[in-house]
């Protein structure tokens, strides 16, 4: 990978890590579902006028909008208001890779190699260790929500496979157009119409949170990422996502003074190591053993 593109990839992971701080900032004054709905509304409305709809069936766009908008980011945002710190949310959401392996085995009848099984086991051990953290940054309900979000991430991959489109960025943008509706409906069901009163007293920090999530995180981040995916093998790009929880934890420590005790660091190392093992394959060659990233 060229150094310029590597720098762009790392830049995106920095944005995606800091995004969890923006989520925390926005949930201070807004219902998490409403906050997420505003994020996707502002991301979709200008973009769809410049990006043609991809030639895929509407059922894929609508189902992806529900799983991506409400399932992944609605639940993740809600988890931050349910006792999970931004840093831990960024870390535990990465378990989507291990969960996707299980989904592939159950639904697509994919084979799980010993290596992937070992990686998933380490990641789950890291999850168990996270539940032992007692510094106020972890709650059982918050962890449950983000694990459901990680599961939805795996489901979104199934929908993307079924849609079978090469215009991934356009597919995501058009899906975002419909994402706010179930989010607003869920917010109304949970708290009633009172959620809209909070918009009257919206402050600059909340506005920044919405705009940061909508534009740098969603539009710019996915645009750059998909350019890299088109240019390079996915096996080259995928390992960069492991930097997201690193920057997420650091940003949470920097902005919200999140404690980074030995149990939390151990949990992070186990999860990241487990995911990395699942991404790396070992090939025996004449020159000996060498490592190559593996996205399969």
What are the pLDDT digits (tens) for 143-184?
999 999 999 999 999 999 999 998 999 999 999 999 999 999
**Whether 138 contacts 85, CB under 8 Å:** yes
Strand partners, 285: 288
Q: How many CB atoms lie within 10 A of CB 132?
A: 11
Per-residue model confidence (pLDDT) at position 249: 97
For residue 282, what are the β-bridge partners?
A: 291
Q: Is 53 left (phi over 0), alpha (psi -120 to 50) or beta?
A: beta
* Predicted local distance difference test score (pLDDT) of residue 288: 41
In the predicted structure, residue 58 carries a pLDDT above the cut 60: yes
| Token pair in block for residue 189 | 């069901």
Least confident interval from 21-30, 31-40, 126-135, 283-292 = 283-292
HEC readout, the chain: CCHHHHHHHHHHHHHHHHHHHHHHHHCCCCCHHHHHHHHHHHHHHHHCCCCCCCCCCHHHHHHHHHHHHHHHHHHHHHHHHCCCCHHHHHHHHHHHHHHHHHHHHHCCCCCCCHHHHHHHHHHHHHHHHHCCCCCCCCCHHHHHHHHHHHHHHHHHHHHHHHHCCCCHHHHHHHHHCCCHHHHHHHHHHHHHHHHHHHHCCCCHHHHHHHHHHHHHHHHHHHHHHHHHHHHCCHHHHHHHHHHHHHHHHHHHHHHHCCCCCHHHHHHHHHHHHHHHHHHEEEEEECCEEEEEECCC
Tell me how far CA of residue 188 lies from CA of 16, 34, 74, 161, in angstroms: 28, 9, 14, 32
Question: HSE-up of 188 (CA within 13 Å, CB side)?
Answer: 8
At 75-119, the pLDDT tens digits run 999 999 999 999 999 999 999 988 988 888 888 888 888 988 999
Structure tokens at 94: 């990465």
- What is the reported pLDDT for 282? 55
Q: How confident is the model at residue 281 (pLDDT cuts 50, 70, 90)?
A: low
């Amino acid at each position: 990978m060229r150094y310029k593109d590597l720098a762009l990839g790392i830049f995106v992971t920095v944005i995606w890590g800091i995004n969890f701080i923006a989520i925390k900032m926005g949930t201070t004054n807004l219902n998490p579902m409403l906050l997420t709905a505003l994020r996707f509304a502002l991301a979709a409305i200008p973009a769809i006028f410049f990006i043609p709809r991809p030639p895929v069936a509407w059922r894929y766009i609508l189902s992806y909008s529900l799983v991506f908008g409400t399932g992944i980011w609605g639940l993740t945002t809600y988890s931050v208001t349910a006792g999970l710190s931004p840093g831990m949310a960024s870390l535990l959401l990465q378990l989507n890779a291990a969960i996707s392996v299980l989904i592939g085995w159950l639904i697509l009848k994919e084979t799980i190699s010993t290596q992937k099984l070992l990686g998933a086991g380490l990641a789950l051990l890291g999850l168990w260790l996270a539940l032992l953290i007692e510094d106020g940054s972890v709650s059982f309900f918050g962890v449950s929500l983000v694990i459901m979000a990680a599961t939805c991430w795996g489901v979104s991959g199934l929908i993307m496979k079924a849609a079978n489109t090469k215009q991934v960025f356009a597919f995501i943008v058009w899906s975002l157009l419909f994402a706010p509706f179930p989010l607003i409906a869920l917010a109304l069901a949970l708290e009633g119409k009172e959620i809209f009163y909070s918009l009257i007293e919206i402050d600059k920090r909340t506005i920044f949170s919405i705009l940061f999530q909508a534009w740098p995180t969603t539009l710019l981040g996915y645009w750059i990422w998909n350019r890299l995916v088109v240019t390079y093998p996915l096996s080259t790009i995928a390992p960069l996502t492991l930097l997201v929880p690193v920057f997420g934890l650091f940003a949470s420590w920097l902005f919200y003074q999140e404690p980074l005790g030995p149990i939390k660091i151990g949990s992070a190392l186990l999860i990241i190591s487990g995911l990395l093992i699942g991404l790396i394959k070992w090939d025996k060659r004449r020159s000996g053993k060498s490592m190559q990233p593996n996205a399969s």
